[in-house]
Chains A and B, each alone.
Chain A
Amino acid sequence: MRKVFKLAQREYLAAVRTKGFIIALVVVPIMMSGSGLAMALLKDRMDTDDKRIAILDRSGIVAQALIQAAELRNAEVAYDQETGKQVKSRYILEAVDSTGDDIPAMRLELSDRVREGELHAFLEIGPEVLHPGEEQEHWRIAYHAPNAVLDDIRRWLGGPINNHLRSSRLRDLGVAEEAVGDLFHWISVDALGLVTLDTETGEVKDARHAGKAETLIVPIVLPMLMFMMFMMAALPQISAVMEEKTQRIAEVLLGSVGPFQFMMGKVLGGVGVSLTGVAVYVIGGILTLRWTGNEEFIPYAALPWFIAFLAFAILMFGAMFAALGSACNDAKEAQSVTFPAMFPMMIPMFLLMPILQHPLSPLATALSLIPPCTPMVMVLRIASPVGIPAWQPWVALGLLLLSTVFTIWAGGRIFRIAILMQGTPPKLANLVRWAIRG
């Protein structure tokens, strides 16, 4: 056992001292939070140029109202109210003559003006927008721009245009808008959690507002972190063992330790690496959330499960990947086994969203009890706001333990044969034969 720890210690130090590990630990969180921050900061500040948009109003009733709405908007949001500094683009709308017959020619002319940079975009409003008939072509509102789909202005335009149309329709009916003010009052459905009883005071506590953070981000962060640890601490075993085999370090080590000790040393080193990574992320995450006053989002109850599932998963995948690596003879073979080896990790990754939406569905339950998928799926279900039956995490942990023991046993048998075998490719049939015959 002492030799196993000695090997694990070397593995661990060799891994955590690399630049890659330090970069992953420090730079990735900074990049992740940084890119969120950058997006929030830069979202509206990137561009303060005036946006000139021509309106080809074939209905003749929208353009003026829209121009006024744009001026109102410019006054309200384009400038910082306190400093008076411009923070967003102004929308400068202009109505163009729409009386001609040759609409295609007008569209082409406006398109050319956009292409020349004179305009940002042009808006065409169909002649029958007030009372849409059967021909969609006649009441269409079309926004033409080089990047129309992602353009924020297009989304903004919908509001003032429809408000104006609704007001006009009311006027046509002879109803004063003020009399039916509630007509435009849209009420959205609030998302709340369940109410709880405060055991100390006996009072019913108000349900917490269920935000995106609690229902979506927090549960999904844990399996993502787990996946990252698989990538950092288990997957590299394939190429590491392959290199030790091809550089004959393996034979030197086998002069001192048994093949099983050799493999376990590597795998335990990987567990150490993953726990170090997780410690940094979890402690960093907790401190950040507390510091920003979001302590309520820390999933304390899910963390012990997370650590337990992670440790077993790294043992299981580590042994599997070390055995695969021992069967490879060059980088190309290592590469070719890496993709299928990642499969059991990728499946839960793709299914995170559907599982989170329906954590109690048969698919979610079944996947969380299939050992290679267990760690990520079960942690996701535990962290989701929906309560899952209490027996399930324990059964999942038991199954994971059994399959970890089995994988280490089979991996050890493959490893001790394959590590000295030169030139035999890592075919599935070979691996199975080595595992069975030993």
Chain B
Amino acid sequence: MNAIELRGITKTFGRTVAVDALDLAIPHGAVYGFIGPNGSGKTTTLRMIMNIIFPDRGEIRLLGAPLSSATKDRLGYLPEERGLYKNMRVRDLLKFYADLKNGKDIDAEIDYWFARLEMAGWAKMKVNELSKGMSQKVQFLATIVARPELLILDEPFSGLDPVNTEALKDAVLEIQRRGTTVLFSTHDMHMAEKLCDFIFMIHEGRKVLDGTLSAIQDRYGSDILRVRTEEGAAALTGLSKIEKINDFGNLQELRVAPGCDPQVVLREILARTKVYGFDIVKPSLEDIFVRIAGPQARPATAAGEQENA
């Protein structure tokens, strides 16, 4: 059973098409990463899934049922911009939010997560006494204490320090192990690579990537050459069939043109300088992202026909 199914979802604001005929199927129990540049329609899509705004066209099914307000009790939603009542105490606030979801055994769950996320002693604090990072953790807890079956997180890790990011990432994985499906949007490509079973990217309202990380990387081919040479980047300028050079100082990454044989490139470099290392690697998610959404984006031919995972 799919936890989320979108069919032909379209949403326009005035003349802007925010989301254009979007299809998506998220299998039950998966961690699905949702990436895309700013303004690509991520938040709009998540809000439509949450039934906060309504699509102009298309169908949304959640947890096997058509979208309805009753389904909302089974969802946890962390919006991109956080909102907590400043004058409430942390425990009262968490209970209030969980109660709105008809959550059961809320106190036990709150105590469990307080211990798990090292938040002991926060219960009686008022929200306006918390630091930014602390209130973000509270907001995350508010999203999960009602034990949602489907967790939707809009930029859950933005603004967190590495320790808290790690703690929250572990929490997300624990929730997944309990059987919750997780859909989260992020700008952090490394986090998406580490955490997600599937990755899904939209650009200008359209889906451009959808699949497992390795499937996506395979589709983009092994067209990255990681090179270490005696003379470094200076020796590599002007090579034929090279689309882009990323200079990391000690090593350079070269992106070769489609259909070009890496052996030809290697021979060409050897003719110029000594080669200490030469690797043919898959492109990183970040690299793929930049290729699709960057200023010199290729026409989305390679990304156009994605199979559904």
Contacts and interface: CB of A to CB of B under 8 A. Distances in A.
Q: Do the two chains bind?
A: yes
Contacts of B122: none
A420 B142 contact: no
Interface string B77-105: 10101111111100000001101111000
Interface in A230-289: 244, 247-258
A243 B275 CA distance: 62
Contacts of B16: none
B72 A256 contact: yes
A186 to B, nearest CB: 63
Interface in B149-206: none
A253 B82 CA distance: 11
B52 A251 contact: yes
Contacts of B99: 6
Interface residues of B, number: 27
Nearest to B152: A255
Contacts of A208: none
Contact of B77 (A247, A252, A258): A252
A353 interface: no
A253 B102 CA distance: 13
Contacts of B237: none
Interface string B216-247: 00000000000000000000000000000000
B75 interface: yes
B4 to A, nearest CB: 15
B285 to A, nearest CB: 28
A142 interface: no
A10 B92 CA distance: 10
A14 B85 CA distance: 10
A7 B85 CA distance: 12
A3 interface: yes
Contact of A254 (B52, B81, B82, B101): B52
Contact of B100 (A3, A250, A251): A3
Contact of B50 (A10, A247, A255): A255
B52 A252 contact: no
A252 B97 contact: yes
Interface string A1-26: 01100110010001000000000000
Interface residues of A, number: 20
Which of A10, A252, A253 has the largest number of chain B CB atoms within 10 A?
Answer: A252
Interface string B137-155: 0010010000000000000
Nearest to A259: B52
B53 interface: yes
B41 to A, nearest CB: 15
B109 to A, nearest CB: 16
Given A252-B77, A256-B100, A256-B101, A244 B83 contact: yes
B81 A253 contact: no
Contact of A258 (B69, B82, B142): B69
Contact of A247 (B83, B96, B100, B102): B83
Contacts of B82: 248, 252
A249 B82 CA distance: 7
Contacts of A2: 102
Contacts of A256: 72-73, 77, 97, 100-101
Given A252-B142, A254-B50, A6 B81 contact: no
Contact of A252 (B73, B75, B79, B88): B79
A14 B77 CA distance: 24
Given A249-B84, A255-B72, A420-B52, A7 B100 contact: yes
A53 to B, nearest CB: 60
A244 B84 CA distance: 9
Contacts of B73: 256
A248 B79 contact: yes
Contact of A249 (B47, B69, B85, B101): B85
Interface string A107-142: 000000000000000000000000000000000000
Nearest to A244: B83
B83 A255 contact: no
B87 A251 contact: no
A250 B139 CA distance: 13
A420 B44 CA distance: 11
B47, B96, B97: most-surrounded residue (chain A CB, <10 A): B96
B82 to A, nearest CB: 6
Contacts of A249: 83-85
Nearest to A256: B100
Contacts of A253: 83, 100
Given A7-B100, A256-B97, A14 B81 contact: no
A2 B75 CA distance: 18
Contacts of B53: 420
A247 B142 CA distance: 16
B100 A248 contact: no
A249 B76 CA distance: 15
Most buried by B among A7, A10, A244: A10
Interface string A292-319: 0000000000000000000000000000
A311 to B, nearest CB: 25
A254 B77 CA distance: 9
A242 to B, nearest CB: 13
Interface in B27-74: 47, 50, 52-53, 69, 72-73
A10 B95 CA distance: 11
A78 B52 CA distance: 76
Contacts of A6: 96, 99-100
Given A6-B100, A7-B100, A255 B87 contact: no
Interface string B104-128: 0000000000000000000000000
A246 to B, nearest CB: 9
A133 B87 CA distance: 76
B163 to A, nearest CB: 25
A212 to B, nearest CB: 44
Contact of A14 (B52, B69, B87): B87
16 contacts: A2-B102, A3-B100, A7-B100, A10-B85, A10-B96, A251-B83, A252-B97, A252-B142, A254-B50, A255-B52, A255-B79, A256-B72, A256-B77, A256-B97, A256-B101, A420-B53
Interface of B: 47, 50, 52-53, 69, 72-73, 75-77, 79, 81-88, 96-97, 99-102, 139, 142
| Across the A-B interface, the 10 shortest Cβ-Cβ residue pairs | A255-B77, A249-B83, A248-B83, A256-B100, A248-B81, A251-B79, A254-B52, A252-B83, A247-B83, A258-B69
